[in-house]
Amino acid sequence: MIPGPTYVFQCPQCHNLLTRESLVSGNTFHSTGYSDGKLIAPMLPDFPNLTKCKKCNHLFWLSKLEEIGTFNYGEKDKLEWQNADEAEFLSIDDYFRALDSGFIIGKGEEGFVRQQIWWAFNDRTRAEGIIFTDNNDESLYIHNCLDFIELLDPENENEKMLIAEVYRNMGNFGRCLELIEDIRDDELSGIVVNLRSECGKKNRWVIPLEKVVQPTYDGDD
């Protein structure tokens, strides 16, 4: 893994500095893929695009800001930048705040945010924790799943596979099985076998897989 320069940005509201690291190259050694399309690759870290200012809570896309500069680790004349806040991924509450705030534009951005919410809840299962802490959590999860399905294209086999997985995560095993029975793409046949087996066991939660479905929304648009 070869790190690239760190980019420095300014919050558009309060001008607080924040940084985002970059990568020249990485690899998928020791990575784990999951049935919801998320790939966790320690040697290929992901950096946030949608983030918030830690000082004033303002939400923004880093890709829509012009960086004010870059530095490489250890440059002594850039200490103020090196001490700036590091941009972080949003919490589930902040993703919902982003959807409610009206600054998420179009299907691409909404799909990205809803996918992040789905993954962030599933991360609790990946960490072997409890996915829902109260009834409201489950209701938010289900509503987000239903809205996310509307943003996926069932004519595309890859996206159809994701829709099937969303239904399984909602506990709708019948709909998941119906959808995967129609999938003809040989590349996806291993995942079909896995999901069919989990539906048989009435397991609705995300599972690690040998091969993952490519997620549709990467958030870098």
CB of 14 to Zn ion, least distance (A): 3
26-49 as b/e, with b when 16 or more CB fall inside 10 Å? beeeeeebbbbbbebbeebeebbb
* C-beta of 18 vs 179, nearer to Zn ion: 18
Which among 103, 6, 19 is positioned nearest to 54, based on CA atoms?
A: 19
CB of 49 to Zn ion, least distance (A): 17
- Greatest pairwise CA separation for the chain in angstroms: 61
Using DSSP's 3-state secondary structure scheme, residue 9 falls into: strand
146 is a site residue for Zn ion (CB under 5 A): no
Per CB under 5 A, the segment of 54-62, 76-84, 87-95, 190-198 that binds Zn ion is 54-62
The answer to whether the CB of 13 falls within 8 A of the CB of 54 is: no
CB of 57 to Zn ion, least distance (A): 7
Per CB under 5 A, the segment of 32-40, 41-49, 50-58, 120-128 that binds Zn ion is 50-58
* C-beta of 10 vs 70, nearer to Zn ion: 10
68 is a site residue for Zn ion (CB under 5 A): no
78-105 as b/e, with b when 16 or more CB fall inside 10 Å? beebeebeebebbebebbeebbeeeebe
4-33 positions binding Zn ion, by CB under 5 A: 11, 13-14, 16
Per CB under 5 A, the segment of 53-61, 69-77, 141-149, 160-168 that binds Zn ion is 53-61
Which among 48, 54, 67, 49 is positioned nearest to 7, based on CA atoms?
A: 67
The residues that bridge with 3 in the sheet, in sequence order, are: 23
56 is a site residue for Zn ion (CB under 5 A): yes
Which among 212, 55, 200, 38 is positioned nearest to 121, based on CA atoms?
A: 38
Binding residues for Zn ion, rule CB under 5 A, total 8
Question: In this chain, which of 5, 40, 44, 58 binds Zn ion, going by CB under 5 A?
Answer: 58
Point out which residues bind Zn ion (CB under 5 A).
Answer: 11, 13-14, 16, 53, 55-56, 58
